[in-house]
Each structure stands twice: as C-alpha cells, then as structure tokens.
Amino acid sequence: MDSGRSDQNGSERRRPPMALKILIAGGFGVGKTTLVGAVSEIKPLQTEEVITGASIGTDDLSGVESKRGTTVAMDFGRITINEDLQVYLFGTPGQDRFWFLWDELAFGALGAVVLADTRRLADCFPSIDYFEQRGTPFVVGVNCFEGAQRYSPDAVRDALDLDPDVPVLLCDARSRQSGKNLLIALVEHVAKRRAHAVRSG
Amino acid sequence: MRGDPDHDWADEEAGPVVRPYAVTGGRVRPATEGFDLVAFVQASDHAPGPDQHLHPEHLAIIAIAQESISVAEVAARLNLPLGVVRVLLGDLLQAGLVEIHEPAAAQFPDDNLLKAVVNGLRAL
C-alpha cells in the first residue's frame, strides 16, 4: 500500500514515522482514557465516527434505530519512541454494539491492554473474548481502585480463565510508570509469542 | 418561544447543526480504499488550483498536513468524523494534493522493532 506515489516528488523530504497501534480496552469507567492520558505525550485527542446507513447491512446495529447517525468517540494518545517510530494508543468504545469499530481499531494493531476492575470483573469479558477470538495479543491490567479489595494477579487470572501465558499485572491507570509497565509487558508478550510461533512453525 | 431568530436551540449541547456528511456531498465511501487510522498524510508540493472545487475542509487538511500527520489526528484536530475525513482524503489523493503513507509493517513488526519499542518505553 505504501507505493511509489510517496516518493514521486522530492526524495529529500523526510519519510513519515512508522506508527504502531496499541488498543486500550475494558469496561465502561475502568480507566481507559485515564491510562491513555497518563502515558501519552499529547493531551488525549478524540476522533469521532458517525455511524450512518452505510454501516448498516454489514454490521449488527440492533439498538441503533436511527440511520441518521450515532456518534461514537474514540480517545487516543501518542508516544514518540524515536524519529522513525511512534506508538498510538486507542481507547476502544465501551458499548458492545460498536464491535465493527473494534475491527477497524484492531486491524494491524500490535496488541491490546485490557483493563479490569475487580469490583466489576465481568465488564472486561467481552474485550477478552474479542481479542482471544481474533488472535490479538493482549495483557490484562488490574486497575487498583481505592477501596477495592486487592486480589493477586493469579486470582484474577483464574477468575478470567486466561491462558497461562497471558500476562496479568496490577496497575494504577493514573500512573505514567504503571502505564509504561503495562505497555512494556505487552510488547514483550508480543515478542515472546512471535518467537514461539517461529519455533513451532 | 417559537420563531426566535437567534436559534436558541443551536447551542453547543445541540451538537453540529449541519449533518456531518454534508461536506462530502453525501458520499460515505472514499474514492480510493485505505486510510488507516495511523496512516500518515502529507501535503504534496502541488498547490491546489482554483478549478479543483475544493471545500474549506479540503484546504484545512492540506494546511495541517504540511508536516506529516496521522489520519486520526487530522480527524481530531479538524473535529470531523473519521469517515468524512477519509472521503475528503480520497478526493485530495485523486487530485494529487496529498501523499498517503499506509503503515506497511504495522502488522508484523520484526524483533528489532519490538526491542526498540521496549527500550524506548523504558527510557520515557
């Protein structure tokens, strides 16, 4: 897709950086936007997608009665790794009926961070199901809200019935360091899966 | 109450008064495929001509894409829905006014790239 049209005029122009996409998923109010904001170098931006009649027919839009257009907002942030490489973090829309937007977000994504709240653990089931079915690598971050009882990562892993190789980390979505640790765990998990696939393939 | 010439109903809460796809002439599909969220847009060296029938939104994209910028950021900064931005980008691409760099390697980054990301994240 990155064809010759990019280089037609002026090869002295700097090439745009390569961008990797990481998704931040989880239930409503679990801290997705907070996490994006904690690690992003820019104030989180918002893109909107208007669901029009064009989406109907390919997607299940039950619940979206009007063809006139429902607006779904997606927050995103950016981390510049170096001049050739940027990481974009996209918060996924919370509502289940916007799955087709997830498909767009997940296309070409490096992987996902699923945020979980132990007080409402079931809220992250749809995200986990989605990434498992799609084969998208993910890690689970257990956001430790004040006043919530602490559980060990293994207890959460059992409760979520996760594969043993899926990293589970306790985190604080407000903390930059904590967010960085989640992203590092995800990228290392992706690398490990890659190595495993090469060995067994 | 009714017939107020100042349109009290059209405050910020009311959202946009013009339906979003009005700027694309009702088109909901771009003229060409592609335009990933993290594809980069860069204005080409050609200046838009007066006979190219561009909307202000086209010109706004050209203006912010003087330095390369991701599709997602174009949409966010111009406060336009993604689908609308994609249609407008299709027009601009066909007219030779922008270059699009799709994220070619995003799906299968190699080990060196992953290492660079981990090191970069650690150094933040």
**Portion 102-141 of A in contact with B at CB < 8 A:** 104-105, 107-110
% of chain A with per-residue pLDDT over 90: 57
Instruction: Give A71 or A151, the one with higher predicted confidence.
Output: A151
Which residue is closest to B113 within chain A, CA to CA? A85
Predicted confidence (pLDDT) at residue A12 exceeds the cutoff of 60: no
**Portion 163-182 of A in contact with B at CB < 8 A:** 176, 180
pTM: 0.82
* Confidence band, pLDDT 50/70/90 cuts, at residue A200: confident
Q: Answer yes or no: are the C-beta atoms of A144 and A173 closer than 8 Å.
A: no
Q: Give the least confident one: A64-73, A129-138, B49-58, B62-71.
A: A64-73
pLDDT in tens, B26-55: 777 766 567 899 999 999 998 888 888 899
**What's the pLDDT score for residue A13?**
67
* Confidence band, pLDDT 50/70/90 cuts, at residue A68: low
Q: Answer yes or no: are the C-beta atoms of B103 and B36 closer than 8 Å.
A: yes
Predicted confidence (pLDDT) at residue A1 exceeds the cutoff of 50: no
Nearest Cα to A48, choosing from B84, B87, B62?
B84
ipTM: 0.81
**What's the pLDDT score for residue A134?**
93
Q: Answer yes or no: are the C-beta atoms of B101 and A15 closer than 8 Å.
A: yes
Predicted confidence (pLDDT) at residue A67 exceeds the cutoff of 50: no
* Confidence band, pLDDT 50/70/90 cuts, at residue B11: low
Nearest Cα to B89, choosing from B120, B57, B119, B113?
B57
Please judge whether B120 and A79 are an interchain contact, meaning their C-beta atoms are less than 8 angstroms apart.
yes
Tokens of A201: 């393939």
Residue A194 contacts B where some CB pair is shorter than 8 Å: yes
Q: Answer yes or no: are the C-beta atoms of A38 and A176 closer than 8 Å.
A: yes
